[in-house]
Structure 1
Amino acid sequence: MVLPSDLTTLSTLAVFGVVYLGMFFGGLPRTGLDRSGVAVLGAIAMIAVQGWSVAEAAAAIDLPTIVLLFAFMLLSAQMRLGGFYGAVTLAVGRRAWPPAALMAALLALVAALSAVFSNDVVCLAVTPVVVRIAWRRGWDPVPWLVAVACAANIGSAATLIGNPQNMLIGSVLKLPFAAYSAQALPPVLLALVALWLWMVGVLRRTPPRAAPPVAALDDAPPFDRWQSAKGLLVAAALLAAFLFTRWPHEVVALVAAGVLLLSRRLHSAQFMGLVDWPLLLLFMGLFVVNAGLQRTGLAAQAVAWLQGHGIALGEPALLAGVGLALSNLVSNVPAVMLLLPHVEGVSAGVTLALASTYAGNLLLVGSIANLIVADLAARDGVRLDWRRHAAIGVPATLLSLLTWAAWAWLAGS
């Protein structure tokens, strides 16, 4: 049964409002629903309100984005099961370098890995190693952990495959991989340099900390040279295909994931167990919820009203500001989904990607990568609360934005 149009509009707005309140709170209070659960329940409610068939609801989901996400989750699973992330981080940590040099190497490593693989998975793999490196040298692990999270977020903005929101932006806007990176890489590199300079000052002001007995990395996969090499070869082939061919990214990535699944040593269940299914459900649910809002025409009317009053959402500074604010209100993926229908072109895509990704460094709850680092640190007895994160993350975010603005000014002059 289809509801009358006025009632349908009100019901649609109610569902949309509840879902995005859930995004803001990280779930619905007094229920067992997290963000993914809220998105799925919201999609079910939107299907009922709109009177859609299952096929009509499925048409609202951007399948290439989901396929691309899934494929890169399998690629990241390959690298994690091969013990690659932990091995390279430990190799850097064993160098007898002073803190500033070690911080530079660690930031460069984490950022580079995050640009090619998932920033969340990189943080998941390297955090326990970084804690142990800091303990062994008598350092407070917290600045090092916040630096890892910030570098992972910043580095992931360099490519269209570094994080989920970038994959979404690239897929929906049909952005060329090389053209995006050519615009995004310079401000990302400047942001990393600014982060390093800030962290050098933080380390100088941080007193030594007595280390507890250092546990071994018992739960970390052992380094497997063959599996790691296999993953790196597939990743290199993927990047080459993205840069030098016009083959559909999602198809190429899916074929690459299929190659990785053909393994005699690693069971497919191990791969599938490392896929972030809740994140995929979050994407699909939000696609359906946002499609319901778009169908009312209210979002388009609001944007048209703003443009009539001289406020163009496509203007870089405004888009960056709105993207930064929304990402800290409802998280970066939902924020990007809300803004994407109103932007177009490579420059706007880069602006939205950098703003939503840099926003993740502002607050502890700003990105999943931050929460992963805090959760894993707590298991090793390291307390990373929002205050200690903000003391480093807020200035790091402001420096990232300042270096980005300086680069945009120089590039435009």
Structure 2
Amino acid sequence: MTATIVGIFLIVYLGMILGGLPFFQLDRTGVALLGAIALIGVDAVSLEAAAGSVHLPTVILLFSFMVVSAQMRLGGFYGWVTHRFASWSYGPSGLLGALMVGVAALSAVFSNDIVCLAVAPVLIDACQRRQLDPVPYLLGLACSANIGSAATLIGNPQNMLIGQTLRLPFFGYIAEAAVPVGLGLFAAWAVIAWQARGQWARSTRAPDALVGAVNSGNDVPLDRWQTAKGLMVAAALLVAFLIGPWPREHVALIGAGVLLLSRRMHSTRTLGLVDWEVLVLFMALFVVNHAIQQSGVAPQVISDLADAGLHLDQLAPLFGATFVLSNLVSNVPAVMLLLPLAQHEMAGPLLALVSSLSGNLLIVGSIANIIVVDAAARRNIRLDWRRHAQVGIPVTLLTLAISAIYLAARVHFLTTGA
């Protein structure tokens, strides 16, 4: 049975690396789900054990904030914010900086993927109206969404998982992440602005018909009441997380319920924007990882690596493993694999920062990157892997270097008290 479990585990994580399986119409979610079904089907995991392996607080928290983000998107908030930024009379580099700060702030509270999905088409239109090349701004959107999502324990799915599993204090994590996120955001702006110097202007403008076609499908008019409702719920949740004694998932679920209870916006519209595939991916990976842990193979591999001198429960090897696995199998599966090794006081912030910031390296490193590139492709804007890598690689190396220095300083302070 152990060999069967290992075989299924390897197939699932091969699917995570490839984004699917050759010859089959499956994405990462489909591969993970079929892996979980196979484990239950061969009795490697009972139905009861499979259900028990799912970390329900994380799934509930993720679902709840998807509802909050959907409310903000349907209320037209993201498009309104993007237009406000674009209307400011800053120069091109100043406009890029304002955009990146705004997107980072939004991504720290709402889902970075949904922020990119809502902002990208509006941003392209705004750049074309100002005769600006949208590529630097799209790269700034993707980079700042990934960096900003590292600032809190609700900015992205893997941070939610880390915060819930390790029971990290909400404000305590923000305090740890503020310096590397702030400096990393500045570094990303500097890289993009330096590369775009003297080349901000767009040589040609997209046809007006194309602009209008995109706006009609993506630029949602601002609904002040629905936006205010979403902002009030989000603010109440943040206050409750910071000062309240209640479990975060309970409070978030109540907030989602308040938003779904509406006389004007049908619940099917809101629930239609919930990323159910991500929720299924989480639950399926919980089952697969539970099986490999219970088989004894994972602890044995960790022990063998320690005997060879690679102690993954120590911060430096954990930093490297998080970076490699986040770009190999994606950040959520990587965090699930490495969470059992998070024993050090700073291991939680390390996992959250490194897994989030690593997403900027390549297009496939983050769903936010893919969303931005797809939005550009629909408008015939060339943003291929080479162009992304020109920004993504230096941004990732700089932000990770900043995080490494900061984490080393924090560990030194904790160890010496000086």
Q: Judge same fold: TM > 0.5, yes or no.
A: yes
Contact 1:16–1:289 (CA under 8 A) maintained in structure 2: yes
Contact 2:346–2:407 (CA under 8 A) maintained in structure 1: no
Question: Are 1:30 and 2:23 counterparts?
Answer: yes
Shift of 1:357: 0.7
Shift of 1:206: 3.0
Counterpart AA for 2:225 = W
Contact 2:322–2:335 (CA under 8 A) maintained in structure 1: yes
2: CA distance between counterparts of 1:151 and 1:387?
19
Q: How does 1:51-200 map to 2 (within 5 A)?
A: 51-200=44-193
Q: Gapped runs of 5+ residues in structure 1?
A: 1-7
Counterpart AA for 1:198 = V
- Counterpart position of 1:233: 232
Q: How does 1:291-302 map to 2 (within 5 A)?
A: 291-302=290-301
Question: Are 1:328 and 2:321 counterparts?
Answer: no
- Counterpart position of 2:35: 42
2: CA distance between counterparts of 1:222 and 1:344?
48
- Counterpart position of 2:216: 218
1: CA distance between counterparts of 2:168 and 2:92?
39
What's the TM-score, normalizing by structure 1? Answer: 0.95
2: CA distance between counterparts of 1:50 and 1:180?
40
Shift of 1:407: 2.7
1: CA distance between counterparts of 2:191 and 2:97?
11
Counterpart AA for 2:178 = L
Of 297-306 and 264-273, deviating more is 297-306
Counterpart AA for 1:211 = R
Contact 2:323–2:355 (CA under 8 A) maintained in structure 1: yes
- Counterpart position of 1:5: none
Counterpart AA for 1:283 = F
- Counterpart position of 1:398: 397
Moved over 6 A (4+): none
Question: Are 1:15 and 2:8 counterparts?
Answer: yes
Deviations 1:219-243 (A, max 9, x none): 2221011111111111011011111
Q: Gapped runs of 5+ residues in structure 2?
A: 414-418
1: CA distance between counterparts of 2:398 and 2:232?
35
Shift of 1:198: 1.3
Secondary structure at 2:346 match in 1: helix
1: CA distance between counterparts of 2:337 and 2:409?
30
- Counterpart position of 2:194: 201
Contact 2:313–2:341 (CA under 8 A) maintained in structure 1: yes
Shift of 1:175: 1.1
2: CA distance between counterparts of 1:346 and 1:81?
40
Contact 1:173–1:344 (CA under 8 A) maintained in structure 2: no
- Counterpart position of 2:416: none
1: CA distance between counterparts of 2:23 and 2:322?
29
